[in-house]
Structure 1
């Protein structure tokens, strides 16, 4: 006999991407509006957190717009080389750093070369790229070759051997998983004025519990519409790579933002994305385990089940 009171169905689990959309909505509707460094203007809040469980291959790969995860992956692999010139990225079709050296070229030469022509010359002319394509000691340089100085007998200082923070973290995790000093730091105060852009995703700390490796990323400044989708993917990918190299299972990505903002000229992107609903749960497979964290290739990474809504374009603030 049928019950007079049907048993309610369990509520569907909240899609993990909803937390990102909620953050975007809060900033857009409640954020403090201000004129920023770029002159474009933002709405911002101070202090935010997102958490993403990386178990079973899960990744923070947004589905409410297409995120070009291979571009973000190529950038991460470039960081791990310690390279600071955009030419290797340009030759792979990665465009995300082009605006900064182009702006410096126009400012210092007074020549109104278009961005497309500048990038083409970076690709075709290694000498031009060496002079104009360098970003200064940004992310990768600090990650794998943090500068040191040593005192000489004559009372002067000279450059010492660089510190490879990534290799040190991996070694530390293997030797002392319970340690609280597994940190990769990008904020080198002594070299900030030489960087095209001081590091936004600046501090990574790794933590092991129950055989799972988690990462907490602190980001001092975050463009939530364009930057954060890449930042989440890259931090999770780095965590997955280090987990593979150290023999731990992937744990959780904990992202924390300081000045978390949306640019006023991104209104179309924001409103379109907030009208969309997350679908599916894409996963990442790492198909090969190289001998070193520095030996991964782009074809080592395969994403399954990613069927996002279409891309939404918006200008980058420089």
Structure 2
């Protein structure tokens, strides 16, 4: 004959046991649960009889868990936490919460904006407020909150935890009509001022000698990219930011060589900070969506 299954103890017995074990006192457990001490004592006695094992050693003042009780307690606490979390997620009314995120303007326009409709569907209780920055100094003194930052690794951001979102690869690109000329290195070069000026590094790594050509300067990559789409010259396209332009044909790659130094964009937050529920949702959403994007990139 099959062995009989031990019946699941009633929930009120288990709640009395958990509270008494956590507080090491039946009277304190009764006060927390809104019961009498006699009721808690009866619940625990009934539970011990059901399990056929003593769970407490009764002392002159308070109680102490037996080895069986100590082994049982963490399983119950885990189960209660799971039930509480599931109940909260499924039935607790949620209000719309605003999350501020600072981002380089190019990442905001080329990466975040195309995904906002998906975010609205995936995170209906999040209202995103995007503050665009042009230089690292624009992050200012505010150390809290979520930032998109560009760097060579998570160690680039002291005092902040970081989730990688992109891995940059640089490739010359131009509008289709310009790409047909015999010597594309003679095209006007569209540059981004500051640390993002990488034409010299690209030609050196590709072992090519560029022709002498005029250079037009922009203060953001997204502006240089738009100019390239309109035939103003060639841009050193930062992928995956420029991937959409390659897919829709508004730009074409001028070379098969891509320069990659391991740099990329990261979603950062203060190390050890307690993020709000909405901020934590956004952080995980960005890591999932853009992490998948990296895996699918050609």
Q: TM-score of the superposition, structure 1-length normalised?
A: 0.22
Structure with greater contact order relative to length (CA < 8 Å, sep ≥ 6): 1
Structure showing the higher helix proportion among its residues: 2
